[in-house]
């Protein structure tokens, strides 16, 4: 096997492909973007038909063996840094990890080390694996849980398309102040940047359509709830904004809270229990971009949230 490439993506043309141009078959059978087709055309063995390099304008016949070969790349702009990774799933195309709270996903201005990307790039290099860091989605710095990283552009494009189409199922566990109006419900409220703080998101009429589903998983007499949350859309800070909107801000989240909650007796009792928003990406369901296999990957609650849950169960109702 040529180590310059990932294992080829293969399709054997059938009667439905007969007479079509190769570019049409690539789109129909692989769902590949035009940008990637252009890149494959300039790769030595990028597009092959029956073992020969092929032009995308060629006419396809039934029985033709079509192979796409994606070149391996490396993230030369990310400093490798040894760190412990909690790996949930890995194959030639994807790496799925349980990100700890307090860690940024990708290097940004002022944060060039200590990120999840630094650790993953080091992990790949130690294994002699040439991959480029392609995060398919993000988690806030202080949100823990499942995050998927693609190892090559095709996997990234396919999963990104699933995200756009809403077929990726993201589930979270949140611990909030108060109790939602219903045991199960949805929050449909548009979100946009705050006019006063560009880093903060708010519910506003001219915002992007945003949908969050919730189900109460636990009610605590002290005045808090555990919620199982599923995203209908994926806006920045969506869960935090929507929970504040319905009067149930996340415990530990001072940025998206209100003065009454921040200064409450319950907040004082929990101050030494958790020092970040009580939010964990507990599972991610999607279709594998290459094999087509349905995957549901889960990350157990971290220690700080288990401790928080135990504390909430033992606290008495406010007098």
Comparing C-alpha atoms, which of 314, 246, 284, 290 is closest to residue 92?
Answer: 290
Computed over its alpha carbons, how large is the radius of gyration of the chain?
A: 23
Active site annotation includes 140: yes
Three-state secondary structure call for residue 161: helix
Three-state secondary structure call for residue 158: helix
What does the alpha-carbon distance between residue 19 and residue 72 come to, in Å, rounded to a whole number? 32
| Residue where the block lists tokens 């990120």 | 115
Catalytic residue among 64, 140, 253, 304: 140
Structure tokens at 7: 């294992």
Structure tokens at 60: 């396809």
Structure tokens at 158: 């396919």
| Residue where the block lists tokens 């969506």 | 238
Cβ atoms within 10 Å, residue 232? 15
29 conformational bin, left if phi > 0, alpha if psi -120 to 50, beta if neither: alpha
Q: Are 71 and 5 in contact (CB under 8 A)?
A: yes
Structure tokens at 59: 């006419």
Helix (H), strand (E) at residue 160: helix 153-165
What does the alpha-carbon distance between residue 266 and residue 315 come to, in Å, rounded to a whole number? 9
**CA angle centred on 56, ends 53 and 57, rounded to 5°:** 120
Structure tokens at 8: 């080829």
Q: 185: which residues sit within 8 A by CB, 6+ positions away?
A: 213, 214
Comparing C-alpha atoms, which of 133, 111, 113 is closest to residue 121?
Answer: 133
Q: Which residues belong to the active site?
A: 140
């Amino acid at each position: 096997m040529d180590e310059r490439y990932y294992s080829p993506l293969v399709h054997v043309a059938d009667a439905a492909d007969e007479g079509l141009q190769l570019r049409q078959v690539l789109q129909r059978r692989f769902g590949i973007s035009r940008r990637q087709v252009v890149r494959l055309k300039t790769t030595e063995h990028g597009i092959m038909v029956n073992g020969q390099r092929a032009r995308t304008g060629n006419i396809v016949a039934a029985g033709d063996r079509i192979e796409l070969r994606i070149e391996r790349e490396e993230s030369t702009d990310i400093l490798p840094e040894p760190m412990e990774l909690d790996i949930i799933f890995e194959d030639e195309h994807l790496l799925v990890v349980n990100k700890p709270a307090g860690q940024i996903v990708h290097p940004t201005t002022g944060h060039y080390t200590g990120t999840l990307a630094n650790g993953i790039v080091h992990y790949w290099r130690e294994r002699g694996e040439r991959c480029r860091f392609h995060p398919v989605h993000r988690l806030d710095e202080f949100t823990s849980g499942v995050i998927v990283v693609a190892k090559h552009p095709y996997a990234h494009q396919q999963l990104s398309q699933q995200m756009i189409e809403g077929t990726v199922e993201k589930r979270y566990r949140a611990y909030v102040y108060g109790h939602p109006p219903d045991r199960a419900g949805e929050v449909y409220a548009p979100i946009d940047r705050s006019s006063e703080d560009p880093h903060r998101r708010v519910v506003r009429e001219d915002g992007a359509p945003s949908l969050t589903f919730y189900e109460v998983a636990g009610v605590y007499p002290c005045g808090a709830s555990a919620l199982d949350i599923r995203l209908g859309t994926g806006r920045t800070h969506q869960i935090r904004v929507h929970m504040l909107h319905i009067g149930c801000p996340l415990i530990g989240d001072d940025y998206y809270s209100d003065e009454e909650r921040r200064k409450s007796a319950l907040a004082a009792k929990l101050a030494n229990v958790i020092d970040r928003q009580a939010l964990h990406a507990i599972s991610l369901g999607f279709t594998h971009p290459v094999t087509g296999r349905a995957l549901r990957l889960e990350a157990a609650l971290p220690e700080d949230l288990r401790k928080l849950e135990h504390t909430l169960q033992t606290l008495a109702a406010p007098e």
